[in-house]
Structure 1
């Protein structure tokens, strides 16, 4: 064991999750295999859940192809712009629970998980009310950004139909983080899979058979999202989360200010990442051959989006592992988890990188018939492959940040790396130096690469023993202490009496 006063940087690099130093290669590989099994147990179902829920909107767009071109454009616009904005904010604010629930679970403060989830419900559904004007005034917003009038009018109508989905977001993400912190990821995967299959059936029934048009598309999507929400909540009510759910409590309305600040930090952190890629398309639209540039950038972002779904699973897994281990006061186990997940994610990223380079003249073909666009995308292969490699590690480091509660710090880092360095550099290289799509993509990679380097440096320099102490302090701050002996025996916290069990 390292001396107590020694800094994190000077402790042995490889230490096992049970706080012992690794003394042999055999011991290292044994511990690596054990930790890898834990990570894949979390990451595998989390990846499927992310893909299944991401696919709900995509499936609606596919079935909307049975309608007119105008209605298809309206569904796509609402899904990408209006719902996309709400989705980013909701999943960002919900990720605050990855820190709080994960650390409380690791500290064995199970009763606080239900309280935290209910606080998140209050904050996220209040945010839904604040976001309502975006849905109500969608026409004016879309017209402001230059969208064609008929598409704006139809998309605005569809946005009104999709208001129930907004509140489903507000209920769903706290439920997800609550279950995820307890490693109930397989349940989430099953519920999301059933909802996706049911959504396919409903979309066929309402759009193809009944020919209900946009109202049918909206009904099937709303119902499917609420199936996800109700399925998860029913699972909790049936008693499969003993100790973590003890009923509704007035404690959900305590400490909302500090809780809201962490939720807002989480939302800003993630939204700055989501919007970064959206703005690349805007920059491409300002190039000389804008139509080809936008198509090429969109193909790369589309492919990158599916890859990111995989690494969001790793993001969720490492967030759970870090928060659990810090909450349990095992900082060296947290460090070991980071090592394992970074190696695993980077290995997959290298595989994707190799595939793109090998298939550089093939992978654009399914997306476009334009030879010019195919050529631009193929010429982008080296830069695109490098982006895929960076995008394999970057979400993992963001997951470490969420697990440790560094949301505000990462928000500032994202603002600097993406919007002060990446986008201006991309605009300068693409427009001023006439490097076109390559210039924009080079700027993007520079921003992501810089952010990855900064997060790597912070992670390596972190005193994880101190982070574990801060996790304990955070749990105390939000009500994880103060139990009477009787409350401890009954698994309930004396400041959070239930008003409805």
Structure 2
């Protein structure tokens, strides 16, 4: 790609604002853009050196195999180097979220073959939209359009010339033109020609986009994620739905237990596993594919060891829970639920590693396939244990634990019998080495995710102070709002991906248009969720419980949760845009400020001082999300997107050098 011109001379670029100078991530070429994580490179280089030197070890590959892998990847890199629009949900393994504040590591790992294919498709779409390569089916040159066709073209066409004020009959094409007199199937140029034309078009500033194209792209990217996230969360929904039929105390207890389990185990595990987003992707991209399995093994063993003290805490959690919530029966049942969940701990840890293992290879749907089987089975097990076998409350916990262990086994089955074995060399003793650098790389992700989610635990404990009915209602509201969030959050991931790809391709104007479309989409999604909550405010709580007092509380507070949907969607998508720009630290600090300096004080003061109780707790969250969305949107409005494009180009050049060094693989 040609060197970018001075950003202040670019047509249509926003001038650098005073506000941008005040923000730390707006400084020229911040460290996160200049180089990849030295810790990640240290880990991989050590592993490569060990594999090369320990030829007598049964688990080590010989040097010729390493060179063979590197040569193979070197041949593939000719295509990878042009993958400017590779689809990669940055920092997200399908079925979980990312930290609000960036951890050390690569924001954009080396594209795998699946992503290279996605990049090629995206380039073809943009070139066709700008008439720079022939359409799939060429249009007839002399025919009068009907009224329906004109309306359709104006509303849904992705071609840029269909939305120009004075469209030309023939748009000039780079390096020649395509002239087809009759409607016919047009051949798509080979990938080499596509990449060449895309580079030329970007250099000539000839690549534009439409809101229709960006809307279609965001839908295509987010739809499979929405399905996956909903399937993943349905495991929790199944337990809440089942337990709610047992009684108010059981419903309150399952909320207290699952929230405690999330804060003490699930969230830290997810945070620690985020380092695999960097390690597995770099191992795969550097050509040493067997190291992908080694990194996943190492993280799994580490997480399993951390489970031991957590299991002890859960087993003896009853006195702690009794001190936090007033209802002794609720605390006892929550402690019982946690004891049964200990059985699912190994599966929770293994699934986080397995997701990264398959995702680094571009096998994004492996987790989805596992959930398609596991999620319905979870509902069946809940019914079987709770109602058929009459195990009651313990049956719901048992069903959840079995499902947690089943999901990683299903991913293993997919890898064993379908795809992914090329990155697995079997169990290795080397998985018990080099733990120090990996822990150092993983800790920031765990700390930041834990800090973000701890607020929810505080609010859950606070809800318990208003009685068992309020805690049961809190369980319903948390489940409903968490479910509804699984629509804007995947949209935020899709937006982050698309913005990052366009910025990386030096298409700042197109990235800005994507951001506008995403913000409008976030408002639409938020409005949809709000409407759903308001119109079904008594029906939705009734799905979870028959207790009239719990339904009354939930149906009243759900109106506050409905207002929150607008700000929740806007905050999620605006943070996704910031992440795509590489300025996620701005959104991360804004989130933490809003949670701890706005949401938490407002929640506690309105709930206890003004005696709004549960409504006050949720009102504080509304205030916090309103502040964070306002801060992020204001920053985005005043940001210089052309500077972000220049920084992204510098980062990608740095990553190319680092990846070539890793492919050498012989220096520790």
Find 1:170's aligned residue among 349, 360, 376.
349
Find 1:187's aligned residue among 348, 351, 366.
366
Find 1:466's aligned residue among 621, 630, 647.
647
Aligned to 1:231: 410
Aligned to 2:90: none
Structure 1: distance between partners of 2:622 and 2:558: 12
State the Cα RMSD in Å: 4.8
- For structure 1, list consecutive stretches of 5 or more residues without a partner in the other structure: 485-492, 497-501
1:180–1:358 distance in 2 versus 1, CA, 3 Å: same
Aligned to 1:422: 599
1:74–1:349 distance in 2 versus 1, CA, 3 Å: closer
Structure 1: distance between partners of 2:294 and 2:382: 36
Find 2:528's aligned residue among 347, 351, 355.
351
> Normalising by structure 1, what TM-score?
0.74
Q: Deviations over 1:422-456 (max 9, x none)?
A: 21133334444556655544432221122223334
1:226–1:270 distance in 2 versus 1, CA, 3 Å: same
1:267 aligns with 2:454: no
User: Is the contact made by 2:263 and 2:454 (CA closer than 8 Å) also made in structure 1?
Assistant: no
- What SS does the corresponding residue of 1:423 show, helix, strand or coil? helix
User: Is the contact made by 2:330 and 2:468 (CA closer than 8 Å) also made in structure 1?
Assistant: no
Structure 1: distance between partners of 2:455 and 2:615: 16
User: Is the contact made by 1:142 and 1:152 (CA closer than 8 Å) also made in structure 2?
Assistant: yes
Q: Deviations over 1:467-491 (max 9, x none)?
A: 45446656876x773314xxxxxxx
TM-superposed deviation, 1:388: 0.3
Q: Deviations over 1:140-198 (max 9, x none)?
A: 32123135445444443442332232221212123224444665443322210211222
TM-superposed deviation, 1:358: 5.4
Aligned to 2:5: 4
Aligned to 1:93: 272
More helix by share: 1
Structure 2: distance between partners of 1:141 and 1:221: 23
User: Is the contact made by 2:599 and 2:622 (CA closer than 8 Å) also made in structure 1?
Assistant: yes
User: Is the contact made by 1:269 and 1:407 (CA closer than 8 Å) also made in structure 2?
Assistant: no
TM-superposed deviation, 1:406: 6.3
Equivalences for 1:102-181 in 2 at 5 Å? 111=289, 117-118=296-297, 120-146=299-325, 148-180=327-359
- What SS does the corresponding residue of 1:240 show, helix, strand or coil? coil
- What SS does the corresponding residue of 2:458 show, helix, strand or coil? helix
Aligned to 2:235: 56
Higher mean Cα deviation, 399-408 or 148-157? 399-408
1:483 aligns with 2:663: yes
1:200–1:374 distance in 2 versus 1, CA, 3 Å: closer
Q: Deviations over 1:58-79 (max 9, x none)?
A: 3234445687887776555433
TM-superposed deviation, 1:393: 2.6
User: Is the contact made by 1:2 and 1:12 (CA closer than 8 Å) also made in structure 2?
Assistant: no
1:93–1:40 distance in 2 versus 1, CA, 3 Å: farther
- For structure 2, list consecutive stretches of 5 or more residues without a partner in the other structure: 15-84, 86-121, 131-159, 165-206
